[in-house]
Structure 1
């Protein structure tokens, strides 16, 4: 340990490097650390000089890690994550309240998690949930959280992934919008207004191509999927409904399928954790509860709307 301590540069340099690598941008790292971008640049330069190797490739839009930089960032992330977990567990033991952190979309948090928070607190009265929210397409590392909801193909060397459900997308709208606009049964002829997520993949054009069918005359595009779903709830148009997000509203009939056309992609929704993190039983309990509640919702939606043939879509869930 003494030799390691002597070989390390300042911890301040490590914190600065980690923030710059995580953001891919010196200015954003500076905002987080409450320093100037020039100070971040100087600290990183000192670290590179100390190690006698480049850690970043600089370009006008930000920075990218070199191979050496990625090696250091991965090690630091694991170390900071372990320290954070230990500190949180110490605080939990003192307060009697356990915390579980989730990296999920704003859409999932707003439209699936929030409506059942009372049920969650009834099941887990001594658990505080903390959210790391993703506004657009769900992606990014899960180093700083206990669980992340991601569309991936399964576990890897660094991550343990538990399958939740396939990625299933249903065109959705409010009952009033459906009744007043009478969308066609063929989703490729959805009429009037479509509501889209700006960076979504897949998107309207790749799934249903309404413009090619001469159906949609207007569109609204947002960068936050929570707003997309909210606009659909308010009767503003038809949007793509990711089933793991909108299942609650379909189950309660606040939203309804705009057509019987359902798309199942080759992607799969998983709850992911970093393997290096100590396994806390409460995290596994919360994970299992989330999966059960989601599957209960989806099964209820399948019963309510048999024309969607969700049972067939879910048959290959594993």
Structure 2
């Protein structure tokens, strides 16, 4: 069995026969006419048969016409297979993992518009807890509140959370009247997953510790307790902006803030293109 020439050489030959012109074939293939001539020469040497009639440089022989038709048919089949595979890859739903609070209150309300802005690729949101095993979770893009990054993945910094005191509006109004010091007689729910944030905020406020600190396993549980009027929380008002707009939470001292976690996006470059992720993140976290 003879050695089959490279696909490039065969595609070059097919283009020359179909267009009947070396320059036109070179333009179609985005190469130089010299490169086309070189490929034709190598192909003819490998075949050991003339491809074009003597005296007519670009008039293909009967053998060449049959070969060009076979190559053209093969290339059409390859293009069809590639386009089908490419469309299937583009239709594959990507999974974006993020903490439950960020997923529900920030990502999901903006997801449809972000998908459109990024080119229409479908995204599935997987709301994880900080205490979940992220290293073994299956996702393509992750929004992290820590420094961990899967090996071989790319990462992009999104922004830093700014923290302030949040409470049900009636409770927030009472605190405005007493000033920050009124928190010393209050109950504050602190999520186990957000250690140190209460301390950072009371230091920024220049006050003592609250009268009662109640732990909660997750931040969204602490937020629910605050909305029920059971106490206050320290959290990022930007992430919970929907609850503030709905009048379910309020920030009595919005000008007193502390630095929170840095949000970082990580993604698997083998499963989603960097250009797509960049567009998605810009649309999804606009204004963050």
Partner of 2:94: 100
From the superposition, tell whether residues 274 and 116 of structure 1 become closer, same or farther in structure 2 (CA, over 3 Å).
closer
Give the match's secondary structure for 1:158. Answer: coil
Q: Any unmatched runs of 5+ in structure 1? A: 1-88, 299-318
TM-score normalized with structure 2 length: 0.55
1:261 equivalent among 240, 256, 259: 256
1:132-147 mapped onto 2 (5 Å cutoff)? 132-136=126-130, 140-141=134-135, 144-147=138-141
**CA deviation string 1:42-96 (max 9, x = no partner):** xxxxxxxxxxxxxxxxxxxxxxxxxxxxxxxxxxxxxxxxxxxxxxx969728x8
**CA deviation string 1:287-309 (max 9, x = no partner):** 221121xx1xx5xxxxxxxxxxx
Give the match's secondary structure for 2:230. Answer: coil
What is the Cα deviation at residue 130 of structure 1?
A: 2.1
Question: Is 1:100–1:146's contact at 8 Å kept on the other side of the alignment?
Answer: yes
**CA deviation string 1:263-286 (max 9, x = no partner):** 025x52221113454527544432
What is the Cα deviation at residue 194 of structure 1?
A: 0.7
1:3-14 mapped onto 2 (5 Å cutoff)? none
- Whether 2:214 is the aligned partner of 1:241: answer no
- What is the distance in 2 between the residues matched to 1:275 and 1:187? 49
Question: Is 1:142–1:272's contact at 8 Å kept on the other side of the alignment?
Answer: no
Q: Any unmatched runs of 5+ in structure 2? A: 1-83
From the superposition, tell whether residues 144 and 215 of structure 1 become closer, same or farther in structure 2 (CA, over 3 Å).
closer
1:163 equivalent among 157, 163, 166: 157
- What is the distance in 1 between the residues matched to 2:135 and 2:145? 12
From the superposition, tell whether residues 121 and 153 of structure 1 become closer, same or farther in structure 2 (CA, over 3 Å).
closer
Partner of 1:279: 273
- What is the distance in 2 between the residues matched to 1:190 and 1:155? 39
- What is the distance in 2 between the residues matched to 1:274 and 1:188? 48
Give the match's secondary structure for 2:240. Answer: helix
TM-score normalized with structure 1 length: 0.50
- What is the distance in 2 between the residues matched to 1:104 and 1:216? 30
What is the Cα deviation at residue 179 of structure 1?
A: 2.0
From the superposition, tell whether residues 156 and 123 of structure 1 become closer, same or farther in structure 2 (CA, over 3 Å).
closer
Question: Is 2:191–2:219's contact at 8 Å kept on the other side of the alignment?
Answer: yes
- What is the distance in 1 between the residues matched to 2:131 and 2:201? 16
- What is the distance in 2 between the residues matched to 1:194 and 1:163? 30
Determine which structure has the larger strand proportion and give its number.
Answer: 1
From the superposition, tell whether residues 183 and 194 of structure 1 become closer, same or farther in structure 2 (CA, over 3 Å).
farther
Q: How big is the alpha-carbon RMSD for the aligned residues of Structure 1 and Structure 2?
A: 4.0
What is the Cα deviation at residue 100 of structure 1?
A: 2.3
What is the Cα deviation at residue 131 of structure 1?
A: 2.8
Question: Is 2:118–2:276's contact at 8 Å kept on the other side of the alignment?
Answer: no
From the superposition, tell whether residues 92 and 241 of structure 1 become closer, same or farther in structure 2 (CA, over 3 Å).
farther
Partner of 2:169: 175
2:216 equivalent among 212, 216, 222: 222
